[in-house]
Amino acid sequence: MVLQLESVINENQLQHLLTQIEAVKIAVVGDFCLDVYWEIDMQGSEMSVETGLPTYPVRKQRYFLGGAGNVVANLAALKVGEVHAFGVVGEDLFASEMIRLCEQLSVKTEGLHVQEKEWDTSVYIKRIVDGKELNRIDFSNFNKISKTITDKLITQLAERIELFDAVIINQQLAHGIHSPYFRKKIVALIERHPAKIFLTDSRDFGNDFHGSIRKINDYEARILCGHKLNPNDEVSKKDAEASARELMQRWGNLLFVTRGEHGILVCDDDEIIEITLPKITGPVDTVGAGDSLLAGLAAALGAGASAEGAGQLGTLVAGVTVQKLFQCGTATPEEILHLHDIQSSKP
């Protein structure tokens, strides 16, 4: 059975949920990244004496949390009571900037471990010239997490596990922390704590996090069900529901399947509830929307909301952030309530 819902919680229930979230404690275990923007102004260029080539003078530089960092930024904007970061950084200047940005948001960073060898902080440098982005400069493509750092990370998380109302597992990088050894260790931790909420968002290893709740998109769901798709292929509602049912049976746990502008499928106990996204007029920017929705789901589940209530909050958070152009936006409780009010007042 598939039910379609536009509203699961009313304004009073939403306000109560947002208040409850202020007491929630969440750990985020994942691929912490730094997005860097260097705006180059060639009017200040000089010829290098050493190379005879023109220099690229940077007029403005901007640094933003990406990957799992964007997830913690969204949790902080939601006013989650405590947010704890667990991940790996390199012994480099970018690690200092990442930690500084996290601490600006009052995110606890004791779980960010430094690996001195075979690891660079995951950084994506975007050089902008005349409003156009040049070839990106990436750090992290050759990272290899050590077993020593993995053991330290998992041990620290295990020692503090009872502190958290929910644990988010974020995997975005092929060369991130999620080695086969790490995945084996995190699954063992999940198995030791079956009552704990573990919510996984994994781009490449969705099948591996047994015992956790999954949040995936419809494209990833079709791939996991053995279908071949091109990156730009659109997944029909029928195919998304079929994949959701197959994965729900395979994993035996709550599942959230996102469908872009079509909303989200909340799948539990052989029932699928479709929650539509708020109707947005005007331009949208979907970069980081998945992280925003993930944060909303985790915050709601950690506060004791139902799966449907979590899906509703997640779509509202995403509905706010997609309206923030040219950035990985976040959503405050005030913005969420405002969007809910607008949607509720529409005929």
Alpha-carbon gap, residue 189 to 183, rounded angstroms: 10
Lookup result for tokens 């109302």: 165
| Residue type present at position 311 | G
> 69 vs 30, 237, 257, 291, 331, CA distance in Å?
9, 31, 22, 9, 15
Residues 6+ apart with CB under 8 A from 195: none
Tokens of 97: 């900037």
pLDDT value at residue 78: 98
Domain ranges of the chain: 2-33+68-121+143-345
Are the C-beta atoms of 143 and 114 separated by less than 8 Å? no
pLDDT value at residue 1: 41
**DSSP codes joined into one string, 24-73:** -EEEEEE-EEEEEEEEE-GGG--B-TTTSSB---EEEEEEEEEEHHHHHH
266: helix, strand or coil: strand
End-to-end CA distance of the chain: give it in Å, rounded: 27
Alpha-carbon gap, residue 344 to 11, rounded angstroms: 9
| Residue type present at position 62 | R
Question: Rounded to two decimals, what is the model's pTM?
Answer: 0.93
120 Ramachandran zone, left/alpha/beta (phi>0; psi -120 to 50): beta
| Residue type present at position 177 | I
Report the CATH fold assignment for 2-33+68-121+143-345.
UDP-N-acetylmuramoyl-L-alanine:D-glutamate ligase (3.40.1190)
Alpha-carbon gap, residue 246 to 18, rounded angstroms: 33
Q: Which long-range contacts (CB under 8 A, 24 or more apart) does 244-248 make?
A: 244/272, 245/270, 245/272, 247/214, 247/216, 247/221
Which H helix or E strand runs over 122?
A: strand 122-129
Alpha-carbon gap, residue 305 to 21, rounded angstroms: 10
pLDDT value at residue 294: 97
Tokens of 297: 């789901």
Tokens of 155: 């041990």
Tokens of 342: 């607008």
Nearest to 275 by CA among 258, 288, 292, 290: 258
- Strand 213-217, strand 255-258: pairing: parallel
Are the C-beta atoms of 80 and 108 separated by less than 8 Å? no
pLDDT value at residue 2: 47
Backbone φ and ψ for 187, nearest 5 degrees, come out as -65, -40
343 Ramachandran zone, left/alpha/beta (phi>0; psi -120 to 50): alpha
pLDDT value at residue 282: 77
pLDDT per residue of the chain (347 residues) written in tens, 0 to 9: 444 445 567 889 999 999 999 999 999 999 999 999 999 999 999 999 999 999 999 999 999 999 999 999 999 999 999 999 999 999 999 999 999 999 999 999 999 999 999 999 999 999 999 989 899 999 999 999 999 999 999 999 999 999 999 999 999 999 999 999 999 999 999 999 999 999 999 999 999 999 999 999 999 999 999 999 998 899 999 999 999 999 999 999 999 999 988 899 999 987 999 998 777 777 877 777 899 999 999 999 999 999 999 999 999 999 998 888 767 789 999 999 999 888 776 65
What burial class does residue 303 get, using C-beta atoms within 10 Å of its C-beta: 0-12 exposed, 13-18 middle, 19+ buried? buried
